[in-house]
């Protein structure tokens, strides 16, 4: 019998590095590996499985729609597609003039946003402003808006016109002018280590983009669908953007992305200007509509806010010299470390039966299902405390412990 690590190395491209485990099934906030070990999942597929694993609503929606209609192409409309578009417009406050473009991923949603910016700007407004440390995807357009040099360098030259500025109001005030087509921001920079924008940034960005005739595009791929304790990250500042991009949690594990437009931005795409063979297929949209309905009906946005506060209190109460701060909102949490040992903490946590993620060497990212309750939080406290202690003891033994 072949070894799964060898199979992964032999059959899969090397873009992701060695896989951490062979996972075979899931239920709620738990996963099981090929050896039968149970793991508490506090990553949720990187903020994706918002209802947890194998939730009855998810399973029923997949089964029902797969037995009815899976794909027809975008020459036609289907009831699930229209129902999901209407729900997203309502939840996002896009109003009667709002419109939705469906894709299959967050990167594709941001690719559509890139083209939306170009359509708005034309030759008169060739500039697109994005933020340093931002992440918007790995396709060429979304990568152009992503600031991480190591991701961009092998694929340069990037599509032109994108400028990256520091995430400060002052830097935006200095950079923006009437030649800017769009400003794109994440409310919380997840891949940068769960870093929140400065207080008042989105409101200032909204004011400045309106003044200069630029679009404000908010990347809600990681922060949307209730993750931050509000339906969307921009909701915390009470603004109305020109467009938002969505993916991850809206599908609960089924691949889907979306661009939601507001007002005049809704008229920029015309027939033939963009498309996707699979985007908005009835299977994906039926599942996403069911997932969002469950988040809404079960009060999971409110649960994310409440449980997020409890999760922060748990982390703050752990007596570990490695913990140097806590960032984020709701159930998107970054634990700042006093040493660049996030990878070691993640490995120790997995060894103990807990899945978390190293967003960077100094930050552990935590993003559990929106359904977590007392039992999951209590188990997290126990497992994370021990994992931190394991790494701290190892550092002490090696003489590398933080002061």
Does residue 6 have an active-site annotation?
Answer: no
H helix or E strand, kind and range, residue 128: strand 127-131
Residues forming a β-bridge with 217: 184, 243
Catalytic residue among 248, 269, 289, 380: 248
3-class secondary structure, 75: coil
Q: Was 277 annotated as part of a binding site?
A: yes
Q: Was 135 annotated as part of a binding site?
A: yes
Based on the number of CB atoms within 10 Å of its own CB, is 16 exposed (0-12), middle (13-18) or buried (19 or more)? exposed
Per DSSP, helices labelled H in 213-278 are none
Would strands 195-196 and 257-261 be described as parallel, antiparallel, or unpaired?
A: unpaired
Q: Was 221 annotated as part of a binding site?
A: yes
Cα 386 off chain centre by: 28
Q: Could you tell me the maximum CA-CA distance found in the chain, to the nearest angstrom? A: 65
Q: Give how far Cα 52 sits from Cα of 45, 328, 370, Å.
A: 10, 20, 7
Would strands 180-185 and 357-360 be described as parallel, antiparallel, or unpaired?
A: unpaired
Distance in angstroms (rounded) separating the CA atoms of residues 335 and 193: 8
Does residue 135 have an active-site annotation?
Answer: yes
The set of residues, in sequence order, having a beta carbon less than 8 Å from that of 171 and lying 6+ positions away, is: 165
Q: Was 106 annotated as part of a binding site?
A: yes
Whether residue 346 contacts residue 357, with contact meaning beta carbons closer than 8 Å, is answered with: yes
Q: Was 397 annotated as part of a binding site?
A: no
Q: Give how far Cα 54 sits from Cα of 58, 59, 62, 142, 334, Å.
A: 7, 6, 11, 31, 26
Catalytic residue among 101, 102, 125, 219: 219
Catalytic residue among 42, 58, 102, 135: 135
Does residue 390 have an active-site annotation?
Answer: no
Whether residue 300 contacts residue 370, with contact meaning beta carbons closer than 8 Å, is answered with: yes
Phi/psi at 56 (nearest 5 deg)?
-55, -35
3-class secondary structure, 192: coil
Distance in angstroms (rounded) separating the CA atoms of residues 58 and 295: 11
User: Could you tell me the strand order of the sheet in which 354-355 lies?
Assistant: 23-27, 30-33, 38-41, 354-355
Q: Which residues are catalytic?
A: 135, 219, 248
Binding-site annotation: residue ranges: 106-107, 135, 138, 219-222, 276-277
Binding-site annotation: residue ranges for pyridoxal 5'-phosphate: 106-107, 135, 219-222, 277
Binding-site annotation: residue ranges for N(2)-acetyl-L-ornithine: 138, 276
């Amino acid at each position: 019998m072949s070894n799964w690590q060898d199979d992964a190395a032999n059959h899969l491209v090397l873009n992701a590095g060695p896989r951490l485990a062979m996972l075979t099934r899931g239920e709620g906030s738990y996963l099981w590996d090929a050896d039968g070990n149970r793991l508490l999942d506090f990553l949720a597929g990187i903020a994706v499985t918002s209802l947890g694993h194998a939730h009855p609503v998810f399973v029923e929606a997949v089964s029902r729609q797969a037995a009815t209609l899976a794909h027809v192409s975008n020459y036609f409309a289907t009831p699930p597609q229209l129902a999901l578009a209407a729900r997203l417009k309502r939840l996002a406050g896009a109003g009667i003039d709002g419109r939705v473009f469906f894709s299959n991923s967050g990167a594709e949603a941001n690719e559509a946003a890139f083209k939306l910016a170009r359509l708005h700007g034309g030759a008169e407004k060739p500039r697109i402003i994005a933020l340093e440390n931002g992440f918007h995807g790995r396709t060429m357009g979304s990568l152009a808006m992503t600031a991480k040099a190591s991701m961009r360098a092998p694929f340069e030259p990037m599509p032109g016109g994108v400028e990256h500025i520091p995430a400060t109001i002052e830097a935006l005030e200095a950079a923006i002018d009437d030649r800017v087509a769009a400003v794109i921001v994440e409310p919380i920079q997840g891949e940068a280590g769960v870093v929140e924008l400065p207080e008042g940034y989105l409101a200032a960005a909204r004011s400045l983009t309106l003044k200069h005739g630029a679009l404000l595009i908010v990347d809600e791929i990681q922060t949307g669908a209730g993750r931050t304790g509000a339906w969307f990250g921009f909701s915390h500042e009470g603004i109305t953007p020109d467009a938002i991009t969505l993916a991850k949690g809206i599908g609960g594990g089924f691949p889907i992305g979306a661009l939601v437009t507001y007002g005049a931005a809704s008229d920029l795409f015309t027939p033939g200007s963009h498309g996707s063979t699979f985007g908005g297929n009835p299977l994906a949209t039926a599942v996403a509509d069911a997932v969002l309905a469950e988040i809404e009906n079960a009060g999971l946005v409110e649960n994310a806010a409440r449980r997020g506060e409890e999760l922060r209190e748990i982390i703050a109460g752990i007596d570990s010299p490695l913990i140097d701060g806590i960032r984020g909102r709701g159930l998107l949490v970054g634990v700042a470390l006093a040493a660049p040992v996030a990878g070691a903490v993640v490995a120790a946590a997995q060894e103990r039966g807990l899945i978390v993620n190293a967003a960077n060497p100094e930050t552990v990212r935590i993003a559990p299902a929106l359904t977590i309750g007392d039992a999951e939080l209590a188990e997290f406290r126990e497992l994370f405390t021990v994992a931190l202690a394991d790494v701290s003891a190892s550092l002490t033994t090696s003489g590398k412990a933080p002061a």
